[in-house]
Amino acid sequence: MINDILEMFSYTFMTRAFIVGLLISLCASLIGVSLVLRRNSMIGDGLSHVGFGAFAIASIIGIAPLEFAIPIVIVVSFLILRLNDSSKIHGDSMIALISASSLAIGTFAISVTGVNTDINNYLFGSILSISDKDVIISVVLSIVVILLYLLSYNKIFAITFDENFAKSIGINTNFYNIIFASLCSIVVVLGMRLMGSLLISSLILFPTLSSMQIFKKFKSVVISSVVISIISFIIGLLISYFNATPTGATIVIVNLVVFIIFKLISIIVLKRK
């Protein structure tokens, strides 16, 4: 078994996938806690579809996909925040609208120009598509995400729990919302290479939802989410390597199993309804 795992790392693409995946899982679980608790889960999903559209367009005009997609997705995330505050269209409907439009634009662009790209790779992810440059970008941006999160952890809690109060004690909530939307966009775009645009949002949601079944402190939920996310990723990657199953889908299924186990523990052991 150990030998098999060592052999796995002799493939550079597996090492790349492992490094990027580990970092993305960590970041996604951090971001996820606030997204779920602020009832903004759908934003992650919406942004991943925007990412799909941006990737498709980038491949057609021949620019580097990550460098193109990250700024586009960040801009759209600001738009969603803005529209949520002021628009007459309800937040959820707005996100659904943006999601579907981006998917359509991406698919349309790919078929019209006849670029020979496998749409599957964008939708469901592919560990083969991760390049050395992607690894460097992922490492740098992940460190930024983790540092910013740690530095503003207490304020993130205050804003997530009660935005009005946070504002009253002088926390610049608009600034933090913008930072948060940017972090979320970065995580979604980086994670899409591995998980695909249809599956990346589950990496954000599952660890938090599982943790909330058992833990009742914010800090415990954050720590547990990170642990669950990393362990599920490693197990998922190993299963997919040894059984030649799709990586993204396998990781999501492992997360689903963890969720079911935690739910059962909360019902049977902790007697919660």
* Binding residues for another protein (CB under 8 A): 37, 39, 150-155, 157-158, 161-162, 164-171, 211-212, 215-221
Q: How far is the CB of 192 from another protein (least distance, A)?
A: 29
Nearer to another protein, 108 or 165 (CB): 165
Residue 79 Cβ vs another protein, minimum distance, rounded to whole Å: 21
Pair 214, 266: CB distance under 8 Å: yes
Nearer to another protein, 131 or 173 (CB): 173
In the bound state with another protein, the residue whose beta carbon lies nearer, of 62 and 271, is 271
C-beta atoms surrounding 220 within 10 Å: 13
Q: Are 35 and 184 in contact (CB under 8 A)?
A: yes
53 is written with which tokens?
């559209």
Find the shortest distance in angstroms from Cβ 154 to another protein: 6
Chain-centre distance of CA 71, in angstroms?
Answer: 16
The least CB distance from residue 41 to another protein, in Å, is 12
Q: Which is nearer to another protein, 121 or 163 (CB)?
A: 163
End-to-end Cα distance, the chain: 40
Q: What is the sign, positive or negative, of the torsion defined by CA atoms of 146, 152, 157, 162?
A: negative
User: What are residue 126's phi and psi, to 5 degrees?
Assistant: -155, 125
Separation between Cα atoms, residue 227 and residue 224, nearest integer Å: 5
Q: Least distance from C-beta 149 to another protein, angstroms?
A: 11
How is residue 181 written in tokens? 């939307």
Nearer to another protein, 117 or 263 (CB): 263
Tokens matching residue 185:
């966009």
